[in-house]
């Protein structure tokens, strides 16, 4: 079974805060991390290989320093890794990203399953998985919480669709996006770390992927960001005062006046 | 192509360095330089008072196909009824269509779709219905293909869908088939009076930043829109509109997925996304049994019960109740946060609620920064008082 896992390097947002005085981002030595949702995707890929055999290839598109998350992926069980990096890829929207990833999946050879996290924590769109499936012509199943069984050409999956758990049968090859309850990602092994340290991670650019230059990066993106701004968070709570019972009465009065309760 | 710095204009103030979410700008010899890691997101452009930052493109964007006209809403159904978000989008879509002096359409796919009068009363001039037994379980691949086909035939210039679990899973495939742009999870839509383009605003970076996005060269312009952001109009039963029933030719077409079974996870309680009032608990609840107190408060208010992340991670409440960046996004009229400190990831999922009440014993908790009313105190005293007053007047 050939499994590809898509990973993205993102800024570690837990350290990102807004300075209320200057209304700018406070970045205390911002550190880049692997998108947390993608660690569940990688773990599921490794578990499927352990159950059914085959190979797990970790793919990331990003700047050269994104190689770091691919080394981590090798240390936690991926067999191979490839970095898609080229100045021409910068500024890609979800479609151009999905297109670039699809060229890499094609180049890797026959693929049975592509696994992605449900969304990234920086862009938050969750669109690359479904768009990638459509471009590859693969089956797509979102929000997978359990891979129950893979049997020949099919797999049986459990997924969380809003409030509803669904059991689906899906034809391979398929792209799935996974939610965090699917597994608990393992820590890197000593052997894995040694392997990761010495591994050569190929870097594929626009030339190696033989991509259409009009479909990548900013040029290939149908959408354009025209403005980025900080959300208004000027509202400060009216902190209620006095004895607690009085505060509770006051609160209920305000909520009743506003027809909220 | 890339981010360029006009060295004649750059005064080396460093303002843009603070704005870059990726840490890709640095000061070298009194001027700003772009390092590796720039994603061309554009966050820095507006930060420069001297217009020294430019994103250079290779070629001008090709003009969009002018034959696309009108605004369409994908009307999602759940258990045989149209979702509330469909009416919210019709209300907003009506404004956009009027601004463009064009028609508002609604499109729905499925099986045994009942009367669609309510969509017309909600603002639609025309409703397209694709009804077939083959679409009964909403096979996403077949529905995506059919919706793309119908869009190519009727050519709406804007297509809106709810950013629900289904919308965010299914609509990207439609956009990919059409080869057009899609903006996820929008919270603001507006027509640029000069260009006539749809300006789509969405939170990004876990709610830390807002981005306004356009789709200048491809049609249709597509958005998924966060539920509960727009208010549905009161239905106007006198409105007239047309209904078009389209065939679905299921011959030789098989979905690549098959729904075998399903279970509703929270069947008996009010669904979080649909709730007008939400009572949510955090780590301050201390143990799972204490959620019973929130259930009681919710019962007195007709509210749904939500949670921040720690109670879910601790296994006190199931994951579908989690509100926040990695859970659900909600926008109720009233959100009562009990023992929730207000990590930015939680705020990202609830800060657009109309009124937020925060109950927390830590006066420094960030939840008070987004709250409308704050009670600094012991929630184990405050919540029972609230229940008592609500039940006994």
The tens digit of pLDDT for each residue in A147-195 reads 999 998 999 999 999 878 999 999 999 999 999 889 999 999 999 999 9
Cβ atoms within 10 Å of B367's Cβ, excluding its own: 27
B71-246: CATH number: 3.40.50.620
Q: The domain A2-215 belongs to what CATH superfamily? A: HUPs (3.40.50.620)
Contacts of A223 (CB under 8 A, 6+ apart): A93, B181, B182, B183, B213, B214, B215
Cβ contact A162–B59 (<8 Å): no
Residue that the structure tokens 């609500």 belong to: B390
The residue of chain A with its CA nearest to that of B175 is A131
Q: Cα A254 vs. chain centroid, distance in angstroms?
A: 42
Q: What is the DSSP string of B25-70?
A: EEEETTEEEE-TT-----TTGGG-TT--EEEE-SSPPPPP-TT--S
The alpha-carbon gap from A239 to the nearest alpha carbon of chain B, in Å, equals: 5
Three-state SS at B271: coil
- Chain B within 8 Å of A230 (Cβ-Cβ)? yes
Q: Is the pLDDT reported for residue A15 higher than 50? A: no
Could you report the per-residue pLDDT of B307-358, keeping only the tens digit for each?
999 999 888 998 889 998 778 888 899 999 999 999 888 988 898 888 999 9
> Taking phi first (over 0 means left), then psi (-120 to 50 degrees means alpha), and beta for anything else, what does residue A137 get?
left
Cis amide prior to A173 (ω within 30 degrees): yes
Residue in B58, B256, B344 closest to A219 by CB? B58
pLDDT over threshold 60, residue A21: no
Q: What is the pTM of this model?
A: 0.87
CATH number of B272-391: 3.40.50.1220
Label residue A25 by pLDDT band (50, 70, 90): low
Cβ separation A225–B41 shorter than 8 A? yes
User: Which tokens sit at A57?
Assistant: 């290839």
Q: Does A40 touch chain B (CB under 8 A)?
A: no
Taking only residues 18 to 37 of chain A, the set having a beta carbon closer than 8 angstroms to any beta carbon of chain B reads 18, 22, 24-25, 27, 30, 36-37
- Give the residues of chain B that fall short of pLDDT 50: 268
Q: Residue B14: which residues within 8 A CB-CB, separation 6 or more?
A: B27, B32
A chain contacts of residue B376, beta-carbon cutoff 8 Å: 239
DSSP B228: T
Dig out the tokens for B4 from the structure.
């360029």
Q: What's the fold here for domain B2-56? A: Alpha-Beta Plaits (3.30.70)
ipTM value, please give it.
Answer: 0.90
Domain ranges of chain A: 2-215
């Amino acid at each position: 079974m050939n499994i590809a896992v898509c990973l993205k390097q993102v800024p570690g947002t837990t350290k990102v805060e807004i300075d209320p005085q200057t209304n700018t981002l406070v970045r205390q030595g911002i550190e880049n991390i692997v998108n947390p949702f993608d660690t569940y995707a990688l773990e599921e890929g490794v578990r499927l290989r352990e159950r059914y055999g085959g190979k797990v290839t970790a793919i990331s598109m990003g700047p050269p320093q994104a190689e770091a998350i691919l080394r981590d992926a090798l240390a936690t069980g991926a067999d191979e890794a490839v970095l898609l990096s080229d100045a021409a890829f910068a500024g890609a929207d979800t479609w151009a990203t999905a297109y670039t990833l699809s060229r890499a999946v094609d180049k890797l050879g026959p693929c049975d399953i592509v696994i992605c996290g449900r969304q990234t924590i920086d862009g938050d769109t969750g669109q690359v998985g479904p768009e990638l499936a459509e471009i590859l012509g693969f089956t797509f199943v979102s929000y997978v919480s359990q891979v129950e069984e893979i049997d020949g050409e099919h797999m049986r999956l459990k997924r969380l669709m809003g409030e509803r758990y669904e059991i689906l049968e899906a034809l391979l090859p398929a792209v799935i996006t996974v939610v965090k309850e699917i597994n608990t990602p393992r820590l890197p092994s000593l052997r894995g770390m040694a392997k990761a340290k010495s591994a050569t991670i190929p870097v594929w650019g626009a030339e190696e992927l033989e991509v259409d230059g009009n479909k990548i990066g900013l040029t290939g993106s149908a959408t354009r960001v025209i403005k980025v701004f900080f959300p208004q968070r000027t509202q400060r709570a009216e902190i209620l005062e006095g004895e607690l019972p009085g505060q509770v009465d006051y609160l209920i009065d305000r909520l009743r006046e506003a027809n909220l309760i | 192509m890339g981010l360029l710095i006009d060295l004649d204009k750059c005064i080396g103030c460093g303002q843009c360095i603070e704005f870059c979410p990726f840490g890709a700008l640095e000061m070298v010899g009194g001027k700003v330089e772009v390092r590796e890691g720039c994603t061309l997101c554009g966050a820095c452009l507006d930060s420069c008072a001297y217009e020294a930052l430019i994103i250079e493109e290779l070629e001008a964007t090709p003009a969009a196909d002018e034959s696309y006209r009108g605004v369409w809403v994908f009307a999602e159904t759940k258990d045989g009824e149209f979702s509330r978000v469909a009416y919210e989008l019709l209300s907003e879509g009506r404004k956009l269509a009027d601004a463009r002096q064009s028609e508002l359409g609604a499109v729905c796919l499925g099986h045994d779709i009942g009367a669609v009068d309510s969509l017309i009363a909600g603002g639609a001039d025309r409703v397209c219905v694709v009804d077939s037994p083959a679409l009964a379980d909403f096979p996403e691949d077949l529905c995506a293909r059919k919706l793309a086909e119908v869009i190519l035939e009727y050519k709406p210039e804007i297509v809106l869908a709810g950013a629900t679990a289904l919308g965010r899973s299914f609509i990207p495939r439609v956009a990919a088939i059409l080869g057009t742009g899609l903006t996820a999870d929008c919270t603001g839509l507006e027509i640029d009076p000069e260009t006539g383009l749809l300006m789509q605003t969405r939170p990004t970076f876990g709610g830390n930043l807002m981005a306004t996005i356009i789709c200048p060269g491809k049609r249709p312009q597509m958005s998924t829109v966060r539920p509960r952001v727009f208010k549905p109009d009161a239905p106007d039963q006198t409105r007239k509109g047309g209904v078009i029933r389209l065939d679905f030719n299921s011959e030789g077409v098989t979905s690549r997925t098959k729904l075998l079974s399903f279970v509703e996870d929270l069947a008996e309680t009010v669904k979080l996304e649909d709730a007008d009032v939400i009572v949510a608990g955090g780590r301050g609840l201390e143990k799972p049994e204490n959620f019973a107190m929130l259930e009681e408060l919710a019962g007195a208010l007709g509210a749904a019960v939500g949670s921040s992340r720690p109670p879910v991670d601790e296994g006190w409440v199931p994951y579908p109740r989690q509100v926040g960046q990695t859970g659900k996004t909600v926008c109720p009229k009233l959100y009562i946060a009990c023992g929730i400190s207000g990590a930015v990831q939680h705020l990202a999922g609830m800060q657009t609620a109309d009124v937020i009440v925060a109950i927390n014993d830590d006066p420094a908790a960030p939840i008070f920064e987004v709250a409308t009313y704050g009670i600094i105190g012991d929630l184990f005293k405050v919540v029972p008082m609230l229940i008592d007053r609500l039940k006994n007047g």
